[in-house]
Structure 1
């Protein structure tokens, strides 16, 4: 581990300490590490360097739309290697919300999420990608048979 020393003006240091407290960090080092991980991860996603990710895809859809629920389920079955869990809730007489937990190659996860959001009858959709790096020999990306 390396030790870094940084200088901040008083106003920025106070604002950082308030943020740290608000988010429940025990110390500045942990807060800085998390900020750096998030920034580096987002940079990797933006540049295409992030090879693997986990993601949360949430969308609202009209369950009266002809065959939409079936099409959405079919998309998930067609991509069973990416979609690892789904939660479905009824939010009104017409609308449902689903959240799908995804994992896999970043490009494939993005393509799947965009295909779901583009389905006719999906009213609102958003995907949050979280870059991850699997360690050699781990089963993070392998499904158990």
Structure 2
């Protein structure tokens, strides 16, 4: 880890300290690392591998979203890892969908949801990952399977 010295205005430092208190960071370095990671997530290469956490509120009766949204996940069965729907009242639910794929494919799916009438407060969090294929021996049975490894940051463009 590298040590970096920065110069920062008093009001920006006060805002950083307030963020640190809200986020639970134990020091300014933790708070700055978190903010830098979040800021750099916006620069994720479209072809990079990721897991996306897509969250939104919706009115399931609006334009038949209660049927349409699960059907859209079914069409993406190869990339949809998990889904959760939490009813809030008679007309609203909060939903979370976890997907894997490229940044471009996950954000395209999320944006298509967010454009639907009746879907509100959409957010997408992207986690950079790398797929590793591993060979395992369990007793006398050998097999290979994939593991997703979370990365500290997005890989450099053009790097493999």
Do these two structures clear the TM 0.5 threshold for a shared fold by scoring above it?
yes
| 1:70 maps to 2:33 | no
Q: Is the 8 A contact 1:57 1:127 kept in 2?
A: yes
Task: Quote the residue 2:20 is aligned against.
Answer: 20
Indicate conservation of the 8 Å contact 2:56/2:122, yes or no.
yes
**Which of these residues, 84, 104, 108, is aligned with residue 107 of structure 1?**
104
* TM-score, normalised with respect to structure 2: 0.65
3-state DSSP of counterpart to 1:5: coil
- Report what 1:79 is aligned to: 76
TM, length-normalised to structure 1:
0.71
Distance 1:6 1:116, change over 3 A: closer
Q: Report whether the alignment pairs 1:140 with 2:154.
A: no
Match of 1:130 among 116, 126, 130: 126
What is residue 39 of structure 2 aligned with on the other side?
Answer: 39
* CA displacement 1:15-61 (0-9 Å, x = unmatched): 4233322321112211111111111112x14x747553422232303
Deviations 1:82-109 (A, max 9, x none): 2222222333434444322223211111
How many Å separate the matches in 1 of 2:37 and 2:48? 13
Give 3-state SS (helix, strand or coil) of 2:148's partner: coil
- The change in CA–CA distance for 1:2 and 1:75 in structure 2 (over 3 A counts) is same
Higher helix share: 1
What residue ranges of structure 1 are gaps of 5+ in the alignment? none
* SS at 1:107 equivalent: helix
Q: Is the 8 A contact 2:86 2:93 kept in 1?
A: yes
The answer to whether the 8 Å contact 2:81/2:98 transfers is: yes
Q: Secondary structure of the residue that 1:139 maps to in structure 2?
A: strand
Q: d(CA) in 2 for partners of 1:107 and 1:65?
A: 26
Mapped partners of 1:57, 1:50: distance in 2: 21
**Greater strand content:** 2
Q: Unmatched 5+ residue regions in structure 2?
A: 134-145, 150-160
RMSD over aligned Cα atoms: 3.0
Q: Is the aligned partner of 1:4 residue 2:4?
A: yes
